[in-house]
Structure 1
Amino acid sequence: MTTSWGTFPLTRFPADPRDPLRAWDAADEYLLNHLAESGTGLSGTVAVVGDRWGALVTALAAARADAGSGTGAGRLTQISDSYLGRSATAENLARSGAAPDAVTLLTTQDPPPARVDVLLVRVPKSLALLEDQLHRLAPAVHEDTVIVGTGMVKEIHTSTLELFERILGPTRTSLAVKKARLIHTTPAATGGQGEPAANPWPLRYALPGDAPAGLAGRTVVNQAGVFCADRLDIGTRFFLKHLPTGIGAARVADLGCGNGVVGLAVALAEPEAELLFTDESYQAVASAEENFRTHAGEGRKAEFTVGDGLADAAPGSVDLVLNNPPFHSHQATTDHTARRMFADARRALRPGGELWVVGNRHLGYHVTLRRIFGNSELVASDPKFVVLRAVKRAGGPDRARQDVTRG
């Protein structure tokens, strides 16, 4: 990525030279060009929200170094909900030669900076996550704060602009350049247009009375940005009707757990099971842990991990993996994430262990499972979804992760 402050080799995480998707796009370039051309001061406290793979803070770290920002300067901070995005940021910063302390990496679960002089927002796919983050940052904004958002045209809607206007102040958009736009907001004296309403996140709702697996009527919490935040999505509802039973004291991983409803259903039905909840979203894992503690009890054994799926799980350490994999990476439709999840699940499973997957029929996960596991069985189906089961056969050779994540 070429900018006014240098050219930076950037990758997504985990890095794969065969990955055709770039770690930046025209929206990132538009914002960085605007900051350089407008002469925006970057020596104060700069907060960057939603920087997907670290393209923004990598360039800004170089800009601040060129400007001699040092002792007494404000911090450059990235706020991200994505473990993969934060990991990519760390690698991209190191690759660019940035000082180890050049950027403070915060998650959406961390307290934001108390005062922000420049607020840069990469518009996320989730309007709820944007709303939550703007509410959390509004107290840090002062009358001289420079606020600029960026996104592709298809990502910026009237509802997006209304959030900036309602929470932070008067808002306008730029002309489109390479199908990207900027959002310019002037901080209002009160932080928004009048006193903004309280942050509605996290959201709590009761599961429907016909929810399966002992979940009916239970109240669950969803942090902003977690998939299907205000209801039980139909894919999960179908999966819950067809979960394995009689698993006893098995170690069960809810892979890509979201708010943890699938793992919670297993915990309620199988009192001896040990649960592992893992997701790359800090918001998701926080939701899953609160839901589990509320309904399974404080004394129930479980592990909650924000990370790259089961990449760090010990080989042969899991008996059963339950997975409803995403098929989007931001705005890109791809089965790349699902293939990595399946490969990691096979490595983490003990011989004879099983992976159960729910997915849309048209995604063809049975083909991918046969390639990775050598087998795939249809457990249940309806016109929209399938539940598939794959078994790790004893004695079968493990395939290296990189061999199954592309192609």
Structure 2
Amino acid sequence: METLNIRSGEFQLERLPKIKNDTLRGWDAADELLIETVLTDYSHLLVTPPLIANDSFGALALAFNEYSVHSWSDSFISHLATTHNLSLNKISASPVLIPSTKEAEGKYDLVLIKIPKTLSLLEDQLCRLKPHIHPETVIIGAAMSKHIHTSTLKLFEKIIGTTTTSRATKKARLIYAQNDQKNNVVSPYPKTIKDESSGINLQNFANVFANDHLDIGTRFFLETIKKHLNQHGEYAEQAPNIIDLGCGNGILGIAAKQLIPHAKISFTDESYAAIASAKINYSNETIDKNTDDAEFLMSNSLDQYKGDTPDLILCNPPFHQAHAVGDHIAWTMFKQSQQKLQKNGELWVVGNRHLAYHIKLKKLFGNCQTVASNKKFVILVATKNKK
């Protein structure tokens, strides 16, 4: 746990999910620069609630906790962390938590945007922000300098208006955008793509991984699932519980449902955009158009899953959290899968070869089989309590 020292106070701040011996802080120099700038130059605008977009772990909500902030994010974990850190500091304020797939509320005098990792999410947010700002609204973006690109500034120019940047401070920089662009913009998301190999049409919201194409790892996983799931005779004789863990747009769970129509499918992800995409795609691409026969959970890994013991878990794990790269999310997914699966239940994983997931899976499950591989990816299967 680290202490955030700013003009408005000292705050304890934890990253979620908690990781043993975590060396990363829950904020960066861009948060500090943004907070100091607002308190110095724009505190007079805090008479009305500011809109904060993409507050990683609640540092901005803590700094401005007395101003009834609205927190707009695609991350369920970020919203959990915001609530957790306010409670940790014994702050009773309750910010308005707005999922990325929902509209912001009312008009804002001050908008603070931490620049997200994906340009598509920023584009979607800026487009949908337009109805909620007026010509005098102060809009400030913030990021580490290495994460601000020409394409970032062009988006602000195109959608919002005249855009300038600050000088770098501790390798962080601010973006100032003036709302003088008169064009009426509509977000291009969700986008519809078609996977030619499966014939599945997918609607992808802005922050879904590879939102304009089917990534090659998922494509390889789909090919493998189709070859092998039909060989499991027990799935034809029972109604298996299947989880698409870290589901993204839901294509793995949808493919499983198409192969085993009587299966119960659960989709989990910490991205609001992912769950929204999965729900639409499941309804469009399964025989039963009623999504009531499936479960869609906002969850850090399997934390929120309370359903029946799964027979099969399909997982294409992420190897980063925002800009931070690491295997802690995959490790959590693997551990929780091992705990949740029924005896002889299987975890199927796709991953880049160099990530060496087979070592972790063998350590957890005591076994790991390579079902398929190519030059870049491996498909691994680990079985719980395998004899």
- What TM-score does the superposition give when structure 1 sets the normalisation length? 0.89
Matched, 1:278 2:268: yes
Q: For this pair of structures, how many residues does the alignment match?
A: 373
Correspondent of 1:151 among 115, 118, 143: 143
Q: Which residue of 1 aligns with 2:346?
A: 354
Q: Which residue of 1 aligns with 2:305?
A: 313
Matched, 1:239 2:229: no
> Which secondary structure state, in structure 1, belongs to the residue aligned with residue 47 of structure 2?
coil
Correspondent of 2:177 among 173, 177, 185: 185
Give the letter aligned to residue 40 of structure 2.
Answer: E
Matched, 1:109 2:101: yes
Q: Which residue of 1 aligns with 2:294?
A: 302
Q: How does 1:25-44 map to 2 (within 5 A)?
A: 25-41=28-44, 42-44=46-48
CA displacement, residues 36-92 of structure 1 (integer Å, 9 cap, x when unaligned) = 222432121200001111111111115x4xxxxxxxxxx410001111111111011
Q: Which residue of 2 aligns with 1:267?
A: 257
Correspondent of 2:187 among 199, 206, 219: 199
Runs (4 or more) in structure 1 with deviation over 6 Å come to none
Give the letter aligned to residue 235 of structure 1.
Answer: G
Matched, 1:77 2:70: yes
C-alpha deviation, 1:14, in angstroms = 2.2
8 Å contact 1:242–1:380 — kept in the other structure?
Answer: yes
8 Å contact 2:157–2:163 — kept in the other structure?
Answer: yes
Q: Which residue of 2 aligns with 1:91?
A: 84
8 Å contact 2:245–2:314 — kept in the other structure?
Answer: yes
Correspondent of 1:165 among 157, 169, 192: 157
Give the letter aligned to residue 49 of structure 2.
Answer: T
8 Å contact 2:53–2:72 — kept in the other structure?
Answer: yes
Q: CA–CA distance in 1 between the matches of 2:241 and 2:308?
A: 11
Percentage of identical aligned residues: 42
Q: CA–CA distance in 2 between the matches of 1:314 and 1:236?
A: 26
Q: Which residue of 2 aligns with 1:48?
A: 52
C-alpha deviation, 1:225, in angstroms = 0.8
CA displacement, residues 269-305 of structure 1 (integer Å, 9 cap, x when unaligned) = 1111110011000100000010000111323621111
Give the letter aligned to residue 221 of structure 1.
Answer: Q
> Which secondary structure state, in structure 2, belongs to the residue aligned with residue 8 of structure 1?
strand
C-alpha deviation, 1:3, in angstroms = 0.6
Give the letter aligned to residue 81 of structure 1.
Answer: D
Q: CA–CA distance in 2 between the matches of 1:353 and 1:39?
A: 56
C-alpha distance 112-315 of structure 1, shift in aligned 2 (>3 A): closer
C-alpha deviation, 1:129, in angstroms = 0.6
> Which secondary structure state, in structure 2, belongs to the residue aligned with residue 88 of structure 1?
helix
C-alpha distance 312-197 of structure 1, shift in aligned 2 (>3 A): closer
Q: Which residue of 2 aligns with 1:258?
A: 248
Q: CA–CA distance in 2 between the matches of 1:107 and 1:39?
A: 26
RMSD: 1.5
Q: How does 1:116-127 map to 2 (within 5 A)?
A: 116-127=108-119
Q: CA–CA distance in 2 between the matches of 1:281 and 1:205?
A: 19
Q: CA–CA distance in 2 between the matches of 1:315 and 1:149?
A: 41
Q: Point out the more displaced range, 35-44 or 75-84.
A: 35-44
C-alpha deviation, 1:110, in angstroms = 2.1
C-alpha deviation, 1:111, in angstroms = 2.2
C-alpha deviation, 1:198, in angstroms = 2.2
Correspondent of 1:390 among 362, 382, 387: 382
C-alpha deviation, 1:227, in angstroms = 0.2
Higher helix share: 2
| 5+ residue gaps, structure 1 | 65-74, 396-407
Give the letter aligned to residue 10 of structure 1.
Answer: L
